[in-house]
Amino acid sequence: MKFIGSFKILGDKAIAHRLLIISSWFKGQHIINNFPKNEDVLTTLNSLKSYGLKYKFTNNSLCIDSVKFNFKKGTIDCNDSGTSARLLCGYLAGGNMETKIFGSKSLSERPMDRVVCPLNDFGADIQSAHGLLPLHIKPSLNFNSFEYNLKIPSAQVKACFILYAMFMKGVSTIRGLIHTRDHLENILSYFGYPITFKKNEINIQGVHRIAKNLSVELPGDISSASFIIGGAVLLKGSSITIKNVCFNKYRIGFIEALIDMGANISFKNKKDNYGERVADIIVNYSPELIGTKINSDSIPNLIDEIPILCIVASYAKGKTVINGIDELKIKESNRVEAILNNMERMGGLAKVVGNSLIITPKNKLHNTTINSFNDHRIFMAFYIANLIAGQDFNVKASEGCYKKSFIDFFDILEEIIA
């Protein structure tokens, strides 16, 4: 078995969330091409629909009419999407209408105090269930611009505060750990919203409505592509080209780690696309991989790719050490436990020492029944691991968590497996 072919991948999920929200702010008729119809992004889309946003799909193009979008009292279900919950918390708190936000059991176990507490300090009035969902946003009379030192290197938290700042009179400033994926900043800047940047701060001018029709093509999702890339690196004879993939400098930590390990990866057709850097990624089988060390300050740039990185590391020469793994424990599952569980099932060697995850290669993993823990990235990483093991294995017909982020995962695999 090998991966062969040249293909495109559906649009980047992180950019899609943000662009949907901005499409409601920039009132008009908008078109988003290469739109990913995965469960998380549809959660944001349908939440905005409840406030008057209209839309229709034509194949993979989304047409939006936000002319009648308006904030009102409401209740939204964020299902299992942490991005939806955190971004919409800031946006709806800024809209200053009574709103209740709830979600799935899994989402209700993920921390929201990292956005709720600062927003309340800024002047919002948000009640939470001990820092968790459900949230109750109440109208506030205490709206002011703010200055904040971001203490968590989280793009979701940063975007939440930027969206809130867009409603505040005057200029709000965010400093601190701001050097994470910057899709929202790129979108706003590209389309002319008054947001400016210095080396270590972001300044957002509030109360600046723009009436503009947007037409955008989303670049391919680098996090989804990572599973295919990981498989191509490990499967003998593989050679693939993934076209027009998001190449944001805060999103390519996985690619950089693989190259550091000796992977045969190159790029062509680098260009700017609606404020984002994109490129074609060429990946070939790489038989001489070596272990690597991931420092904790690199984790935000590859946090979603750590499960598939662990699979690749299992076939390298020498240990791979991944430091700073705390954030992995509060994703859709405790991904540290999920990785350890499935690696043990497959005969691999993985252990935690302090705040580090250590992968020790052990010849070849064997097939197993995947325990996804209902986590899309765990499922896809270990599905690829089972493919590489090269024997027949079964996947439960009910296993559909991959649809949360990569709805065409199996379609792409069917296209490239030779």
Return the CATH number at 172. 3.65.10.10
Domain ranges, residue 366: 220-416
Cross-strand partners of 58: 61
- Are both 368 and 401 inside the same structural domain? yes
Residue 200 makes CB contacts below 8 A (sequence gap 6+) with 175, 176, 178
Q: How far apart are the first and last CA of the chain?
A: 6
Q: Which residues are catalytic?
A: 304
- Are both 194 and 256 inside the same structural domain? no
396 has pLDDT over 80: no
From 153, 182, 216, the end of a domain falls on 216
State residue 209's pLDDT score.
81
- Are both 227 and 204 inside the same structural domain? no
- Are both 95 and 148 inside the same structural domain? yes
- Are both 17 and 95 inside the same structural domain? yes
Strand runs labelled E in 9-111:
29-33, 54-58, 61-65, 74-77, 99-102
Residue 5 lies in a domain: no
- Are both 207 and 253 inside the same structural domain? no
Q: List pLDDT tens digits, range 218-250.
A: 999 999 999 999 999 999 999 999 999 999 999
Residue percentage of the chain with pLDDT more than 90: 94
- Are both 130 and 266 inside the same structural domain? no
- Are both 278 and 412 inside the same structural domain? yes
CB 166 within 8 A of CB 96: no
What total of structural domains would you count in the chain?
2
- Are both 238 and 135 inside the same structural domain? no
Task: Compute the average pLDDT of residues 174-199.
Answer: 96
- Are both 268 and 198 inside the same structural domain? no
Which pair of tokens denotes residue 256? 């950089």
From 216, 248, 281, the end of a domain falls on 216
Residue 250 lies in a domain: yes
73 has pLDDT over 90: yes
Tell whether omega for the bond before 139 is within 30 degrees of 0, i.e. cis: no
Q: Give one DSSP letter per residue of 385-405, joined into a string.
A: HHHHHTS-----TT--GGGGT
Residue 26 lies in a domain: yes
Question: Quick one: which H or E segment has residue 8?
Answer: strand 4-8
- Are both 193 and 234 inside the same structural domain? no
Cross-strand partners of 162: none
Residue 4 lies in a domain: no
From 193, 216, 239, the end of a domain falls on 216
CB 24 within 8 A of CB 70: no
- Are both 192 and 254 inside the same structural domain? no
Which pair of tokens denotes residue 344? 């043990």
Strand runs labelled E in 130-254:
132-138, 147-150, 171-176, 195-198, 201-205, 215-217, 239-246
CB neighbour class for 209 (10 Å; exposed up to 12, middle 13-18, buried from 19): exposed
State residue 398's pLDDT score.
67
Task: Compute the average pLDDT of residues 313-336.
Answer: 96
151 has pLDDT over 80: yes
| pTM confidence score | 0.96
Which pair of tokens denotes residue 154? 């989280």
Residue 88 lies in a domain: yes
Q: List pLDDT tens digits, range 288-301.
A: 999 999 999 999 99
